[in-house]
Amino acid sequence: MAMVVGANRLELLQIADAVAREKGIDKGLVIEAMEEAIQKAARAKYGAENEIGAQIDPDNGDIRLFRLMEVVEEVENPTTEISLKIAQLDRPDVELGEFIADPLPPMDFGRIAAQTAKQVIVQKVRDAERERQYNDYKDRVGEIITGVIKRVEYGNVIVDLGNAEAIMRRDQGLPREHLRQNDRLRAHILEVRREARGPQIFLSRTANEFMAQLFAQEVPEIYDGIIEIKSVARDPGSRAKIAVTSNESGVDPVGACVGMRGSRVQAVVSELQGEKIDIIQWSPDPATFIVNALAPAEVVKVVLDEDNKRIEVVVPDDQLSLAIGRRGQNVRLASQLTGWTIDILTEAEESERRQQEFVVQTQMFTTALDVDETLAQLLVVEGFSELEEVAYVEPDELLAIEGLDEDLVVELQRRALDAIESRHRAADEKRKEMGVSDDLLQIEGLSPEMMVVLGENDVKSLEDFAGFAADELTSSEDGLFKRFDLEEADASDMIMTARKLVGWVTEEDLAADADKLAAAAASEGEEAADGAGNTADNTEAEKA
**95 and 119 share a domain?**
yes
- H/E element holding 245? strand 239-246
Q: Using the 3D structure, point to which of 345, 371, 396 is the last residue of a domain.
A: 345
pLDDT digits (tens, 9 = 90+) for 338-374: 999 998 888 888 888 888 888 888 888 888 888 888 8
Cβ atoms of 264 and 258 closer than 8 Å = yes
pLDDT bracket for residue 535 (50, 70, 90): very low
Q: Is the peptide bond before 253 cis (omega within 30 degrees of 0)?
A: no
Q: What is the pLDDT of residue 39?
A: 73
Confirm whether 218 is domain-assigned. no
**447 and 368 share a domain?**
no
Average pLDDT over residues 259-285: 90
pLDDT for residue 480 is more than 90: no
**322 and 265 share a domain?**
yes
Of 474, 454, 470, nearest to 462 by C-alpha is 454
Average pLDDT over residues 26-51: 70
B/e letters for 340-357, b = 16+ CB within 10 Å, e = fewer, are bebebbbbeebeeeeeee
**402 and 448 share a domain?**
no
Between 436 and 196, name the one with better pLDDT.
Answer: 436
pLDDT digits (tens, 9 = 90+) for 145-198: 889 998 888 888 999 888 788 889 988 988 888 888 888 998 999 888 877 676
What's the CA gap between 224 and 222, in Å, rounded?
5
Confirm whether 523 is domain-assigned. no
Which domain does 231 fall in, by range?
A: 226-345
pLDDT for residue 528 is more than 80: no
Confirm whether 405 is domain-assigned. yes
**129 and 8 share a domain?**
yes
Query: Exposed, middle or buried: residue 228 (CB in 10 Å: 0-12, 13-18, 19+)?
Result: middle
pLDDT bracket for residue 231 (50, 70, 90): very high
What's the CA gap between 102 and 218, in Å, rounded?
67
pLDDT for residue 518 is more than 80: no
Contacts of 196 (CB under 8 A, 6+ apart): none
From residue 521, give the alpha-carbon distance in Å to each of 325, 489, 524, 526.
Answer: 50, 20, 5, 9
From residue 49, give the alpha-carbon distance in Å to each of 70, 78, 101.
Answer: 14, 10, 16
**60 and 97 share a domain?**
yes
Q: What is the pLDDT of residue 438?
A: 85
- 3-class secondary structure, 97: coil
Q: If DSSP states are collapsed to H, E and C, what string results for 317-372? A: HHHHHHHHCHHHHHHHHHHHHHCCEEEEEEHHHHHHHHHHHHHHHHHHHHHHHCCC
What's the CA gap between 218 and 230, in Å, rounded?
17
**341 and 355 share a domain?**
no
Rg (CA), the chain: 39
Between 2 and 462, name the one with better pLDDT.
Answer: 462
Q: What is the pLDDT of residue 534?
A: 52
Q: Using the 3D structure, point to which of 345, 363, 394 is the last residue of a domain.
A: 345
Other Cβ atoms within 10 Å of 226 Cβ, number: 16
pLDDT digits (tens, 9 = 90+) for 395-426: 888 888 877 888 888 888 888 888 888 888 88
Q: What is the pLDDT of residue 514?
A: 65
Q: Using the 3D structure, point to which of 376, 393, 418 is the last residue of a domain.
A: 418
pLDDT bracket for residue 8 (50, 70, 90): low
Q: What is the pLDDT of residue 540?
A: 46
pLDDT bracket for residue 511 (50, 70, 90): confident
Among 217-231, 378-392, 476-490, name the one with the lowest average pLDDT. 476-490
Between 324 and 162, name the one with better pLDDT.
Answer: 324
From residue 435, give the alpha-carbon distance in Å to each of 61, 274, 439, 501.
Answer: 92, 65, 11, 19
**What is the CATH number for 457?**
1.10.150
Q: What is the pLDDT of residue 269?
A: 92
**50 and 122 share a domain?**
yes
What is the CA 291 to chain-centroid distance, rounded?
26
Between 221 and 431, name the one with better pLDDT.
Answer: 221
- 3-class secondary structure, 66: strand
The dihedral built from the CA positions of residue 398, 401, 407 and 408, taken in this order, carries a sign that is negative
Q: What is the pLDDT of residue 541?
A: 44
Q: What percent of the chain has pLDDT over 70?
A: 77
pLDDT digits (tens, 9 = 90+) for 62-111: 777 777 777 777 766 666 666 766 666 667 776 776 776 667 776 655 55
Confirm whether 50 is domain-assigned. yes
pLDDT for residue 202 is more than 50: yes
**What is the CATH number for 44?**
3.30.1480.10
Q: What is the pLDDT of residue 536?
A: 46
pLDDT digits (tens, 9 = 90+) for 9-38: 556 666 667 666 666 666 667 677 777 777
Confirm whether 518 is domain-assigned. no
**467 and 453 share a domain?**
yes
Cβ atoms of 84 and 94 closer than 8 Å = yes
Q: What is the pLDDT of residue 84?
A: 67
196: amino acid identity, one letter: A
Q: What is the pLDDT of residue 407?
A: 84
**371 and 318 share a domain?**
no
pLDDT digits (tens, 9 = 90+) for 92-105: 776 776 776 667 77
What's the CA gap between 48 and 184, in Å, rounded?
52
Confirm whether 508 is domain-assigned. no
Confirm whether 507 is domain-assigned. no
Confirm whether 496 is domain-assigned. yes
**What is the CATH number for 241?**
3.30.300.20
**250 and 340 share a domain?**
yes
Domains in the chain: how many in total?
A: 5
**405 and 442 share a domain?**
no
pLDDT for residue 318 is more than 90: no
Of 220, 207, 204, 159, nearest to 184 by C-alpha is 159
Mean pLDDT of the chain: 80
Q: Which pTM does this prediction carry?
A: 0.58
